[in-house]
């Protein structure tokens, strides 16, 4: 098996994963240059998103999928209205989408998925998502002669249910279940993470369940067991 790239510096790895700190140094005391650094602060997403990753048909399919997973109803906006498409676009445009954290070296043995008990893919998350959305769209066209985004709601749900049940084969038998779970996880992340990442606009996800957000001290509330505390959520950085 090939030796891993020895030139891949540790500094670059830490920067990619958000921990670029005081460099490799000999420390005789607490380093004086430490402080709250850019790398430790979260990166907010611009309102409206950048559309860097999901464009055209991919964006239309993703929007349609997300809005079937979390539809608009009397309890609140749909996933895309809450910013979940922008959220995932920003996520996929950075280190997460590039899968810097994953070990994606070859080879991928034929029995690896069986041994690990789930479908293993060596694609980056960005490629995986784009290819997965294209697969969903192809499947819709084959079944209904229409792009996924133009199907009736019930037809979309039927496709998603088949994906969820692992009835569709893409990267091997049953692989559609892992794709479905990935998309479901992604839309939940968007709907319920801090609004500064682009989703959960107006903290609609937190208001839905009564989560108070980025609060850091509940000492005055813990004794009020079993009571509705009526706490308004707060976010790390207010966004409109």
Partner 1 sequence: MAIQRKKADVVIVGLGWAGSLMAEELTRAGLEVVAIDRGPWLDTSTDTPPAVDPDELRWTIRRELLLQPGDYTLTFRNQSSQTAVPTRELKAFQMGKSVGGAGFHWAGMAWRFSEWDFRVRSATLERYGASKLKGLEQVQDWGITYADLEPFYDRFERIAGISGVAGNINGNLQPGGNPFEGPRSREFPTPALKESQLMQMYRDSTAQMGLHPFYIPVAHVGAAYVNPLGVSMAPCTYCGYCMFHGCGNYSKSSPQACVIPALMRRKNFTLITQGYVTKIHKAEDGKTATGVSYFDEQGREVIQPADIVALCSFTYDNARLMMISQIGQQYDPVTQTGTLGRAYNYQTCSGAHVWFEDQTLNPFIGAGGLGIQVDDYNGDNFDHSQHDFIGGAGLLTVSREGMPIGRSGLLPPGTPRWGKGFKQNYQDNYQNYGIIFGQGTSMPTRDAYLSLDPNYKDRWGTPLLRMTFDWNQNDRNMARFIEQRAVDIGKKMGAKHVQTFNSAAKSWSPYDENSNHTQGGMIMGEDPLTSAVNTYLQSWDAHNVFVVGASAFPTNAGYNPTSTVGALAIRTARAIHEKYQHNPGSLV
Q: Which of residues 75-114 bind partner 1 (CB under 8 A)?
A: 75-76, 96, 99-105, 109, 111-112
57/235 with CB nearer partner 1: 235
SS3 115: helix
Rg of the Cα trace of the chain? 21
Query: Smallest distance, Å, CB 76 to partner 1?
Result: 6
Cα 11 to Cα 172: distance, rounded to the nearest angstrom: 37
Stretch that binds partner 1, among 48-56, 71-79, 128-136, 168-176 (CB under 8 A): 71-79
The b/e string for 175-213 (b: 16+ C-beta within 10 A; e otherwise) is: bbbbbbeebbebbbbbbbbbbbbbbbbbbbbbebeeeeb
Write down the least CB distance from residue 132 to partner 1, Å: 16
Is residue 142 a contact residue for partner 1 (CB under 8 A)? Answer: no
Q: What is the pattern of x (binds partner 1, CB under 8 A) and - over residues 168-207? A: ----------------xx-xxx-xxxx--x-------xx-
Residue 44 binds to partner 1 (criterion: CB under 8 A): no
Torsion 149-151-152-158 (CA) sign:
negative
Residues 6+ away with beta carbon under 8 Å from 187:
65, 66, 69, 70, 79, 84, 88
Q: Which is nearer to partner 1, 17 or 46 (CB)?
A: 17
Q: Residue 13 or 131: which CB sits closer to partner 1?
A: 13
Return the number of the residue (137 or 194) whose C-beta is nearest partner 1. 194
46 is a contact residue toward partner 1 (CB under 8 A): no
Question: Of 38, 48, 145, 217, which lies in the binding site for partner 1, with binding defined by CB under 8 A?
Answer: 217
Which residue, 170 or 197, is less far from partner 1 as judged by CB? 197
Give the interface segment with partner 1, choosing from 44-52, 132-140, 169-177, 213-221 (CB under 8 A): 213-221
**Is 203 within 8 Å of 225 (Cβ atoms)?**
no
Cis peptide before 61 (omega within 30 of 0): no
């Amino acid at each position: 098996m090939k030796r891993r790239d020895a030139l891949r510096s540790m500094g670059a790895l830490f920067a990619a994963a958000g921990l670029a700190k005081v460099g490799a140094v000999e420390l005789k005391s607490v380093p004086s240059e430490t402080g709250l650094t850019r790398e430790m602060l979260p990166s907010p997403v611009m309102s409206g998103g950048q559309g860097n990753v999901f464009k055209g048909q991919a964006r239309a399919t993703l929007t349609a999928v997300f809005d079937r997973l979390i539809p608009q109803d009397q309890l609140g906006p749909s996933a895309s209205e809450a910013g979940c498409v922008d959220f995932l676009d920003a996520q996929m445009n950075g280190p997460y989408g590039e899968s810097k954290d994953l070990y994606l070296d070859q080879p991928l043995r034929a029995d690896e998925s069986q041994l690990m008990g789930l479908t293993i893919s060596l694609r980056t998350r960005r490629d995986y998502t784009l290819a997965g959305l294209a697969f969903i769209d192809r499947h819709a066209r084959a079944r209904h002669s229409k792009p996924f985004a133009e199907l009736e709601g019930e037809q979309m749900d039927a496709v998603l249910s088949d994906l969820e049940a692992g009835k569709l084969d893409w990267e091997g038998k049953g692989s559609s279940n892992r794709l479905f779970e990935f998309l479901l996880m992604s839309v939940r992340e968007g709907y319920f993470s801090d609004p500064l990442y682009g989703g959960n606009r107006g903290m609609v996800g937190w208001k839905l369940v009564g989560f108070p957000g980025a609060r850091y001290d509940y000492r005055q509330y813990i004794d009020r067991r079993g009571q509705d505390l009526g706490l308004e959520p707060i976010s790390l950085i207010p966004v409109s």
